[in-house]
Amino acid sequence: MKTFIFLTILLQIFVLQQVRTNECELTSNDNIQLTANEFIQSRQLCNILNLPTTNKRQISITGRLMDYTTRCQKSISNANVEIIRIRLNHRSVCSNIYHSNSDGYFNLTNLIIDFNEEVFLRLTAPSYKTIYKKIHFPLSYDQSVEMILNWKIVLSKDIKQSQSQDDQRMKSIVDTLLSEMTLDEKIGQLNLEGVGFNADGPVITNEQRERIRRGEIGAVLNIFTPQAIRQLQELAINSSRLKVPFIFGFDVIHGHKTIFPIPLALSATWNMTLIEQSARIAAREATADALNWVFSPMVDIAHDPRWGRILEGAGEDPYLGSQVAAAMVRGYQGSNISDVDTVMACFKHFGLYGAAEAGRDYNTVDMSPLRMYEFYLPPYRAAVEAGAGSVMTSFNEINGVPSTANQWLLTDLLRNQWNFTGFVVTDATAMYELIPHGLGNLQEVSARSLNAGVDLDMGSQGFLSTLNQSVQQGKVSEQTIEQACRRVLEAKYKLGLLDDPFHYVNESRAHTDIFTKENRLAARDFARRSFVLLKNDKQILPLARSNLTITLVGPLADDRRNLLGAWSGAGDWTQAVSVLDGINQLIGNNIQVLHVKGANLLEDPDMLKLLNAYGGDIILDNRTATQMIDEALQAAQKSDVIVAVVGETQGMTGEAASRADIGLPVCQQLLLQALFNTNKPVVIVLMNGRPMTLTWEDQHATAILETWFAGTETGNAIAEVLFGYYNPAGKLTATFPRSVGQIPLYYNHKNTGRPFNSSDFLNRYKSRYLDISNDPLYPFGYGLSYTSFSFGPLNADKTQLHGDSDRLTIRFVLSNNGAYDGEEVVQLYIGDPVASVTRAVRELKNFQKVFLQARERQEISFIITTDDLKFFDSSLNYIWEEGLFNIYIGPDSVNTQSVQINWFKL
């Protein structure tokens, strides 16, 4: 009997082990000592034109991501799955990003890898640890056989016992501080003030010095450098009773000292790894200047290019905008926000700021809840889920209540629905501006903002001057003040400041980590990857590298002042590289460059006065417009091609830079008209911070290259693209209208009851314009290449699907038919033509950025699940409904192929 019992127990153990094995049959996570910093700090990022063409191997990796804490029964959806390729001999890195579906599955098929590369898989998901797996290839690997890997991979929660202990320690320290604070000191922690500084250090008024002594400032903005911040932090520590340190915040929007392309341009790369890298480098530079908090990313969806702040965001699409938001937060905050080279992110502007009426900054916003949830809220939520430590309110109202006093927005939605645990800060003086909104005097709006969920007041001093009185009058409770103070103190703890107030002050890093050669190389690579080729007739680009005479003309051809664009923060425009310098440095000895100015940037006296009042530094040429144009024409007659560098000034986009006319300034148009009349090929190089109306320019120019405001390395990046050292691969993330009369214009619009079809031109009673087409000049997702790509027929593995667990796989062959290596952004859209609420005509649901060598073909596949079919119904439930769906795949939002499928609930 004992033997039987023993064997029974042994059998049960064996069976249990087998069951667990079936549940958790996983490959071990490689113990690879690699960090994202090693990828980012590579000395040279990959140039796709220089990749080797031989010794290739083909692999496919399929797998599933599982949650270890539930014995692998819970899948991890929508994780980032990255293939990272390191070429050690070139110290360079390339990566492609994919995503797992709702069941945790990922499918990376037909990847072409070179023998000289080390290949890693990086897997990231919100609230999970990032892991790396090295892909090992046998020495006897047969190139003729595709290597197929099928893995189940554990991602463990990034919540350890030590973290739980750390949370307890944080609570203990913050509780002790709060117990020692007076009410006035608690209110003081809710006050964010700006402090000036110069070469001698911070410039502090006597009034501010006294507030610091009394503990009435919790955080400081607009000051940096280790020397200045040390002086101010020492004042807080040495003169205040409780020695609570400051948080130091700054506008690090697209780089700190090394300035990268504006965010709208970075989004045009459609490369989340690159965007994350840009934020990571910016964080390293900012912390080397002793900062620990950045007012970025801006994740506002914008449909109106008249709005100047469109340059700060990722354009018009909520799916792409969500990917960018999460990537930026990861880049800033890293895996541990207390590391000395990471900063706390502050996503903004919460919420709906990009929908300001008429594109006029600070204006009213009004929309239905359904529109909010479907088109505008997703990027904010993505930033929350990525772990952002703070959020900034917006200036606009929502449903009749301005954001800064909107309890539904800041508490019901942000905290209760989305589980945000960080702190909320107002935009500059936003609390004070509630008065002209009509919400009451400063005491009333301050009380209302605190009760709504604001924790930190930027610039209004409303909390500081009124909350004590409001407590006495019962308008706010001490408990509400203490909760806001706790959130600010917890942020200081997480940043390591309560343990070491000088945690980020290191003068040696300011000399080694800022404006380095590596960072400038990264800036150059980011810039050229952000350029969008809008037109290229007769394949005029790339230009010949010898035996060529070009006329380089335009007010921005030898300009450095405007290259950084708006919100360049601590950037030094004198360090920027002009287009003229970039061309001369790259190829100037082999060609002849005739440089002339040709025109002023603008000549409108009112705009000149306004822009120069705010640091525009625009100086008019002493010559007349006719004299400058004549000089340009004389040079053009001697040249083979004209390169005209035209666009906006840095002050014409950004905050408070809305424009009713988003075309080129008239003086620049007159120059272009004269150049077009020469019958010489004219290549327009655009510098701007928004989509522009370029219908006339598109009709006459031979080529148009959109370069945005590309940052410190602008000239070098433009030269490399013009002369074919890099093949442009950017795609628009915001629609370019034909006319301002079409605005707002965006790809994911809804149909009307009378949709217009251009093939039925004479049918007047449709939703149309009489004088122009409904169509944009350049649609969302659009961008050309020096090579030509073709999409083979779409092949769906089934046309009828059933239930949540079913999956649709669509395959096709992408071919590079041209003579240049290049990248194509393959875009997948879904349309739901019959639903319980009206749906957009199509919505971006996935994309892949694919590199193909000249004449190379590759099978591309997408896996679609019911998560891709979901939408918000009239009750704001996130659901999917059975029925007919159209799947569109192509190089942009218009030029697509489609397949139609039926997906049933059962």
Choose the catalytic residue: 251, 317, 427, 821: 427
Q: How many CB atoms lie within 10 A of CB 644?
A: 28
For 49, the 3-state DSSP assignment is helix
Q: Assess contact for 37 and 280: CB atoms under 8 A.
A: yes
Please list the residues that pair with 601 across neighbouring strands. Answer: none
> CA–CA separation, 338 vs 247, rounded Å?
13
Which is nearest to 435 in space by CA: 481, 410, 404, 457? 404
Helices of type H across 334-417: 369-371, 378-385, 407
CB neighbour burial string for 118-136, b if at least 16 within 10 angstroms, e if fewer: ebbbbbbbbebbbbbbebe
> CA–CA separation, 640 vs 526, rounded Å?
30
Give kind and range of the element (H or E) at residue 247. Answer: strand 247-250
Q: Which two tokens stand for residue 5?
A: 């019992």
> CA–CA separation, 103 vs 122, rounded Å?
18
HSE (CB half, 13 Å, CA atoms) of 550? Answer: 31
DSSP string covering 11-32, please? Answer: HHHHHHHHHHHHHT--BPPP--
Q: Assess contact for 689 and 565: CB atoms under 8 A.
A: yes
Contacts of 96 (CB under 8 A, 6+ apart): 82, 83, 273, 848, 849, 850, 851
- In this structure, the dihedral spanned by the alpha carbons of residues 450, 453, 456 and 458, taken in order and rounded to 10 degrees, is -80
Q: How many CB atoms lie within 10 A of CB 647?
A: 26
- Asked if the peptide bond before residue 218 counts as cis, ω within 30 degrees of 0, the response is no
The C-alpha angle 49, 50, 54, rounded to 5 degrees, equals 110
Q: Assess contact for 553 and 239: CB atoms under 8 A.
A: no
- Backbone phi and psi for residue 147, each to the nearest 5 degrees, phi listed first: -85, 125
Q: Assess contact for 425 and 393: CB atoms under 8 A.
A: yes
- What sign does the CA torsion over 298, 304, 307, 311 have? positive
Q: Which two tokens stand for residue 557?
A: 């051809």
> CA–CA separation, 583 vs 604, rounded Å?
31
Q: How many CB atoms lie within 10 A of CB 371?
A: 15
Q: Which two tokens stand for residue 242?
A: 């409780």
Q: Which two tokens stand for residue 584?
A: 């001369």
Q: Where are the beta strands (DSSP E) in 538-681?
A: 549-553, 592-596, 641-647
Active site residue 427: yes
Q: Assess contact for 519 and 285: CB atoms under 8 A.
A: yes
SS3 content of the chain, % helix, strand, coil (to 5): 35, 25, 45
Conformation bin of residue 540: beta by default, left when phi > 0, alpha when psi is -120 to 50: alpha
Catalytic residues: 427
